[in-house]
A and B are shown apart, each in its own frame.
Chain A
Amino acid sequence: MNMAQVITILISTIFIENIILSQFLGICSFLGVSKKRSSAIGMSISVLVVIILATLVTWLLYNYVLVVFDLVYLKTIIFILVIASLVQIIEIIIKKFAPSLYKSLGIYLPLITTNCAILGIALKTVNYGYGFGTMLLYAIGSGIGYFVVMYIFSVIREELEQRNLPKAMKGIPIALVVASILAILFSRYVGIAPKVEDEEEALRETYVIENDIVEDENIIYYDHNYEDLNI
């Protein structure tokens, strides 16, 4: 994997295919924990850490246990149990070694188990059949994308709280409209980098076309149109 591919995957997961604004994963926490800047940062850091670890563990488990023993259909059950226990383990470790960090992040960790961003990314990497490197970059990019959007959104919402709005739009409705505008801005990044799947498809298509050309070389000799054009 060269540098260009790494940057392509990171940019497309952070901006174009943003985990919240384009894939609609983790909307509950996006709307619920974004009222204050500090809580948004705390939640995003926990999600960033857990998303990378959980995707790594579930990917390894899927490819080296479930596929080997032909138990692929159990993936939803296994993944949610693994994520729940992983979150518990992280909580215990942080409590033991970094009590001050636990005080600031502790309340967000239990919430993460039922955050669909974690399970969603874990299932997506497996469903698309990503390799190890792509999987890791995809998870890191998704986590950073979550962080970026949560931070921007929480700053905007803090401002909105002080504005004089129509009573009907106060709170969640105006927040969703702001999210819509943010999503428009983020979707404008299309064209900076091709999508991960699109690139793979494009590679496959060029391969097919090359093959066709090789086969077509024999046919050109019998093509009458070729002679017609000369006349």
Chain B
Amino acid sequence: MKDNFLKGFFKENPLFTMLLGCCPALAVTTTVENAIGMTLAFTFVVVLSNLFISLININEKIKELIQPVRIAVYIVIIATLVTVVEMLMEAYFPSLYSSLGVFISLITVNCIVLGRAEAYASKNKPLNSIVDGLSMGLGYGMAIIMIAFLREVLGAGSITIWGSAKLSLIPVFNFLRIEPISFFVSSPGAFLVLGLILGVIQAINNKKVLKNKNKRQSKKEVK
């Protein structure tokens, strides 16, 4: 259970290892607040879609019945959940809803949700599926909050957590005699930040592979 929960953060992180869900990761990461809002909406959808899809697949008869059209069934379930999120956000967080814009609706076609439904939830028990959804949702959230943090600190010199809970880093910037680089908040900055983060991750992975190789070689030598 613990492994099942932790896998979404590092080992199988949907954004960093599988490059799924790039569109919102680049589009809504201008402030930390937007990224947190996206994380909440996304986790809600992926957890509940995993739950419902695993519940459908428990019954063998229903499973056989929907087998030829299962993708369509999954998409309808996901789209319904997305509509629920949209309506809740529009009612309770109107400013967040307007700043996230069309990307709330686009959770429907996010490859992670459909991929988890097909690869995990349709074969596993409801409780495991919920944990898997939480792991994927929060792992993805961690990734986009990281990108948003870098972009907002470097680009605007502030950290907006929620609404008016905003931390300004302008005094620090003034102390260091530098200015925020607004390039990072603009769209080219998003590509650059994601590219550099992926580069760092690839470098770490390369080092790990190299270490394992060395270990194996030294073991062979010992034998």
Chain A residues within 8 Å of B, Cβ to Cβ: 21-28, 31-32, 73-74, 76-77, 80-81, 84, 113-116, 119-120, 123-124, 127, 167-177, 179-181, 183-184, 187
Contacts and interface: CB of A to CB of B under 8 A. Distances in A.
Of the candidates B102, B110, B186, the one having the most CB atoms from chain A within 10 angstroms of its own CB is: B102
Contacts of A84: 72, 75
A contact patch SS: helix
Contacts of B87: 73
By Cβ-Cβ distance, the 4 closest A-B pairs, closest first, are: A176-B195, A168-B203, A180-B191, A173-B199
Contacts of B79: 76-77, 80-81
B100 interface: no
B198 interface: yes
B67 interface: no
B contact patch SS: helix
Contacts of A24: 22-24, 26-27, 187, 190
Contact of B109 (A81, A119, A168): A119
Interface in B176-194: 186-192, 194
A187 B188 contact: yes
A114 B24 CA distance: 14
Contact of B111 (A21, A114, A184): A114
A28 B111 CA distance: 9
Given A22-B187, A23-B27, A80-B79, A180 B105 contact: no
Contacts of B86: 76
A184 B182 CA distance: 13
